[in-house]
Amino acid sequence: MLSIPERAAQIIDTQEQQLDEINSRTIFLAGSKNVGKSTLLHMFLEKLETPRNTLVLEYSFGRKTNLKQAIDKNVCHIWEYGGKLDMLKNVLPVLPKTKNYYYCIMVDLSKPKTLLQTIEICVHAMNETQSISDNCVTNLIILCGKYDLFKNFDTEAKKIVCSTLRSVALLNGAHLMFYSSKESMLVKRAKDIFSSIGFENGISIKDKQTNPTKPLFINKGADTWENIGVARSTFDEIKQRYYSKIPLDSSGDVTTVKTGLKKTHPEADIDKLIALKYDELREMETLEIDIMSIVDYLC
């Protein structure tokens, strides 16, 4: 039987754990390569340094004072994945998640031949690794980057892409938004969204934009098959309809990562060794990372 001091300590520990769950958020960001994931996170966290190429998995965090309880700070844990998409299923099960968990898939609107494949792989990895024992609900966000290039596409092509993305978002219960780092209005909206999911109670912006000639923004549950203009569809039916008009690019493999490594040392031999180690990490068939050790100091 516990003594009174031991029981009191147990109660305090439980309350602190519950408070930590309330005040903590987890954001996981994956998707197309070179679409601007790191740039977006740097703007959200107001980092001044130039973003680097993401090597497999990178962690960062943000803190914000809780206005209701000035002593407490809300903490947002952010994981950015830059490795092979077919390795996502190895990463997600060991990812430390809080109760408030947001899974963000960022795709490249300027590459319509591969964006649907990217979404399919990321959604499949999410569904395959979800466990009923997880003490969290996955909130899915489909973030579509490089709108500044996409807006110049042919009108018919934009209609097809937008209709497909809306269908996928509706089918998977996801929020959908278009983004460009080159347009200040879209940057501000993206930062507001990340601030809402990182430090508040989810997406609070109620705006809605479904016009394919404008940057889409549709909250989860705000769209219908009737509004999209297509019959209720499975993912296979959506793919079949999309690829009949925009064929899949078989020359490119969205599961691989081929990014150039910047030379950061005056000695060429050192740069060669670093490039070799980076290639070894990217080509690993399995990923064994003790992620918990990275965040031990937060416990």
What are the pLDDT digits (tens) for 195-209?
Answer: 888 888 778 777 899
pLDDT for 168 equals 97
In whole angstroms, what is the distance from residue 259 CA to residue 219 CA?
33
pLDDT of res. 299: 42
Question: Is 5 a domain residue?
Answer: no
User: Which pLDDT score is estimated for 297?
Assistant: 40
Q: For the chain, what percent of residues have pLDDT higher than 70? A: 72
**Rounded distance, CA 167 to CA 262, Å?**
39
Residue 54 within a domain:
yes
Q: How far apart are CA 95 and CA 106, in angstroms?
A: 19
Domain containing residue 224: 16-298
Q: Which two tokens stand for residue 65?
A: 């004072």
What is the average pLDDT across 45-49? 84
The amino acid at residue 217 is F
Please name every residue paired with 139 in a beta bridge, in sequence order, or none if there are none. Answer: 102
The answer to the question of residue 3 being in a domain is: no
From the number of C-beta atoms within 10 Å of its C-beta (0-12, 13-18, 19+), residue 231 rates as: exposed
- What values do phi and psi take at 175, rounded to 5? -80, 145
Query: What are the φ and ψ backbone dihedral angles of 136, each rounded to 5 degrees?
Result: -155, 160
> Does 26 score more than 60 pLDDT?
yes
C-alpha angle 213-141-119 in degrees, rounded to nearest 5: 80
Please report, for the domain that includes residue 272, its CATH number: 3.40.50.300
Whether residue 116 is contained in a domain is answered as yes
Residue 177 has pLDDT above 60, yes or no: yes
pLDDT band at 15 (very low <50, low <70, confident <90, very high): very low
**Residue 8 forms part of a structural domain:** no
Predicted pLDDT at 154 = 93
pLDDT (mean) for 224-248: 94
Contact 119, 107 (CB under 8 A): yes
pLDDT of residue 18: 46
Sequence-separated (6 or more) residues with CB below 8 Å from residue 239? 116, 120
For residue 217, the cross-strand partners are 177, 209
SS3 of 103, please?
Answer: strand
- Phi, psi angles (nearest 5°) of residue 12: -65, -45
Give the integer Cα–Cα distance in Å for 215 and 113: 19
Once rounded to an integer, what is the mean pLDDT over residues 77-92?
90
Q: What's the pLDDT band for 19 if we cut at 50, 70, 90?
A: very low
pLDDT band for 164, please (50, 70, 90 cuts): very high
192 assigned to some structural domain: yes
- What is the arithmetic mean of pLDDT over 42-70? 78
Q: Categorise residue 159: left if φ over 0, alpha if ψ from -120 to 50, beta otherwise.
A: alpha
Q: What is the mean pLDDT of the chain?
A: 81
Buried b (16+ CB within 10 A) or exposed e, 234-250: ebeebbebbeeebeeee
The domain total for the chain is: 1
Q: How far apart are CA 267 and CA 205, in angstroms?
A: 50
* 44 lies in some domain: yes
Position 84 pLDDT exceeds 60? yes
Q: Place 247 in a pLDDT band, splitting at 50, 70 and 90.
A: confident
Q: Where are the beta strands (DSSP E) in the chain?
A: 24-31, 57-65, 73-81, 100-108, 137-145, 175-178, 217-218
